[in-house]
Structure 1
Amino acid sequence: MKETTVPDNQIDQKTWKLLEKAVLANVDEQRRKRRWGIFFKILGFAYLISMLFFFSPFGGSKATTSTGAHTALIEVRGMIADQERASADNIVSALRAAFKDKNTKGIVLRINSPGGSPVQSGYIYDEIRRLRSLHPDTKVYAVITDLGASGAYYIASAADEIYADKSSLVGSIGVTAAGFGFVGAMDKLGIDRRLYTSGEHKAFLDPFQPQNAEETAFWKTVLNTTHRQFIDSVKQGRGDRLKDKEHPELFSGLIWSGEQALELGLVDALGNSSYVAREIIGHERLVDFTLEESPFDRFAKKFGASVAERLAIWAGFNGPQLR
């Protein structure tokens, strides 16, 4: 038999081709695994989003449906401000839903708030009075728990009656606008402030410039005007029950206990929401119409939905507040 030999270079070429095929096959397998991994991650994320969409309350009322006569409950909790839980949009939407429900026999606004924006508070105040005029048989009762101060009391004064605990903190009918001045610090650090404006008083709230007596006086008129609007609304809401003639300090920004507030006419009686539902409205069953915050709203707030507001606070000014 005649033997044939294969040149070494041919063996090397075959070996390299086999190795090349094996490497390419391995790379293709890795790519396929990676693609499937990405696909399943996207699928899992889409599933999570769909579950949040279908099962989370996206700005909806807790009381989607109600059966039988009940007392509607709406929470006013925390700062009264845009994008907050106690924003005018949330409270007004809840109020409208409660009034619209044919089984609602009375409404309790359960308040625990230090106040906040005069605009948001005024919006809620006006809407309570408007809805009361449209539905005269459905009474609104404000119940102050721990705190019903400033803008929160502004809202409460629109109700038919106000209740509080003997130790609740009630009042603070005043306006504040706080800030900081960094002029001295800049002088010590040798920092030169360069600001360009097209209006004589455009930068009058700039914390990096010295206060101007004329501009300070002007700003005081703005705060006084807001305070007067606040006082007028409280007087309109409370009427003759408010003992402001004997106690002009009611509008000084002071705050009182619930027991003191009762003597001053700031509240009508002492009691909690269960007492009001049971003894005053006559329907002990409470149905919560408070609008819940969606997970996406909470996420947006946590990661900087209020960037402009935070920058303003950092700069040392936070605008007029009913606090």
Structure 2
Amino acid sequence: MSEQQEPSWERQVLEKLVVTALKEQRKGRNWSIFFKFVGFGWLFLFLAVIVTWHRGDAREGGSRSLGPHTALVELNGVISAGDNANADNINEGLRNAFKDKNTKGVILRINSPGGSPVQAGQINDEIKRQRKLHPDIPLYVVVDDICASGGYYVAVAADKIFVDKASLVGSIGVLMDGFGFTGAMEKLGVERRLLTAGANKGFLDPFSPQSPTQVEYAKQMLGEVHQQFINVVKQGRGKRLKETPDMFSGLVWSGEKSVELGLADALGSADTVARDVIKAEEIVDFTPHEDWAQRFARSIGAAAGTKLGSYLEFKLK
């Protein structure tokens, strides 16, 4: 009997040793993972600080060590508070470009189908302000593929507009878009229950039948914003504009045709404008690039704004 118990005792001791060893190994592995995680965290933080510092230096005139140059600011994509092409971002780049002591001229390169009239108007205003503050530094817009609606609203504040012959330019109009679901709701047997305090609080609700009075009011507001757009274009282009009956109808034109109509001034690219017009071939990019924290904060704010105004939004596009 004792001979049978002895192996059992040894087995138990061995099992305890193995379990203890495994526990110690697991603890060691957990601590190793923890320290690696902390190490990677510190490395990430260090790199983030370096990148942010480098970008901040560029935004605050990091080109000081360079000679005379052309400053470049990029406006790409939809002009919106929630996108990179927002007024805060573009205006920051413009301010830094103008205040750099080696800047001989500024190019705002636009490739945008339009967007928010508010954001576009704020950029337009900042361009005019910077031109007054720095009368010896010209600002030229260079159009890539498209400069339409809100993009063109921005462009007309420039001293001159340069385009490619195949660029798309114009679309001077305003729209308010959405969907109506009343027909689908009737087929599905869905009843809309909307309670409001204020006769027009459910203005153009997509789940309710359209109100002729509200539609007429919306058209009136669209007309007001459209007229503001037209006034900005006429003010910016002045006598260069060769007005036609359909110029402010929302149509777009090729870059070549836009020069004929006075919507643009000449054909050119960023390189040719820097070299032949500004006479400073070296181009320095002053476009701000948001870090992940800034993008996250902006996306939260934009999401809140979109939620509140999802069914009522003017667009220059």
TM-score normalised by the chain length of structure 1: 0.87
C-alpha distance in structure 2 between counterparts of 1:228 and 1:12, whole Å: 96
Residue 163 of structure 1 aligns to a residue whose secondary structure is strand
Residue type matched to 1:294 in 2? D
Contact 1:59 1:292 in 2 (8 A): no
Q: How does 1:159-238 map to 2 (within 5 A)?
A: 159-238=158-237
- Cα distance between partner residues in 2 of 1:61 and 1:231: 36
Instruction: Supply the distance in 2 between the matched residues of 1:27 and 1:274 (Cα, whole angstroms).
Output: 66
Partner of residue 107, structure 1: 106
Name the structure 2 match of 1:3: none
Specify whether residues 252 and 286 from structure 1 end up closer, same or farther in structure 2 by C-alpha distance, changes over 3 A only: same
Moved more, 216-225 or 272-281: 272-281
Corresponding residue of 2:247: 250
Aligned counterparts, 1:78-117, within 5 A: 78-117=77-116
Q: Which amino acid in 1 is paired with 2:273? A: V
Residue aligned with 1:251, SS: coil
What SS class does the counterpart of residue 65 from structure 1 fall into?
helix
Unaligned runs of 5+ in 1: 1-5
By how many angstroms is 1:52 displaced? 3.0
C-alpha deviation, 1:21, in angstroms: 5.6
The aligned counterpart of 2:63 is 65
Aligned to 1:37: 33
**Other structure's SS at 1:142 match:** strand
Q: What root-mean-square deviation, in Å, do the aligned CA atoms of Structure 1 and Structure 2 show?
A: 2.9
Query: Residue type matched to 2:51 in 1?
Result: F
Match of 2:19 among 9, 12, 23: 23
* Distance in 2 separating the partners of 1:186 and 1:228: 37
CA deviations on 1:4-56 (whole Å, 9 max, x unpaired) are xx999899778756754653453233223212222212322331242233135
Q: In 2 relative to 1, CA 278–11 (structure 1 residues): closer, same or farther, beyond 3 Å? A: closer
Q: Which residue of 1 aligns with 2:256?
A: 259
Aligned mates of 2:164, 2:313 — CA distance in 1: 31
Question: Relative to structure 2, which stretch is displaced further, 46-55 or 159-168?
Answer: 46-55
Q: C-alpha distance in 2, partners of 1:58/1:282?
A: 27
- TM-score relative to the length of structure 2: 0.88
Cα deviation digits, residues 180-206 of structure 1 (max 9, x gap): 000000100011112222221111132
Distance 1:256 1:238 in 2: 16
Shift of 1:282: 1.5
Taking the aligned partners of 1:59 and 1:87, their CA distance within structure 2 comes to: 18
Bigger mean CA offset, 54-63 vs 258-267: 54-63
Query: Do the aligned partners of residues 281 and 204 (structure 1) sit closer, same or farther apart at CA in structure 2, a change above 3 Å counting?
Result: same
DSSP-derived class of the 2:235 partner: helix
Whether the aligned pair in 2 keeps the contact of 1:59 and 1:294 (CA below 8 Å) is no
Name the SS for the 1:249 alignment partner.
coil
Aligned positions, number: 314
Aligned residues of 2:204 and 2:215 also touching (Cα < 8 A): no
Name the structure 1 match of 2:146: 147
Q: Is the 8 A contact 2:165 2:256 kept in 1?
A: yes
Q: Give me the whole-angstrom Cα distance separating, in 1, the residues matched to 2:106 and 2:154.
A: 14
Deviates further, 54-63 or 37-46? 54-63
Report SS of the residue matched to 1:248: coil
Unpaired stretches in structure 2, ≥5 consecutive residues: none
Comparing 21-30 with 194-203, greater Cα deviation is found at 21-30
Return the letter of the residue paired with 2:179: F
* 1:46 matches 2:42: yes
Bigger Rg, which one: 1
Offset at 1:307? 3.8
The question of whether the paired residues in 2 share the 8 Å contact of 1:140 and 1:159 is answered with yes
**Conserved? CA contact 2:81–2:302, under 8 Å:** no
Which structure features the higher share of helix residues?
A: 2
Percent of pairs with identical residues: 46
Task: Give the secondary structure class of the aligned counterpart of 1:85.
Answer: coil
Give the Cα–Cα distance (whole angstroms) in 1 for the partners of residues 97 and 289 of structure 2.
15
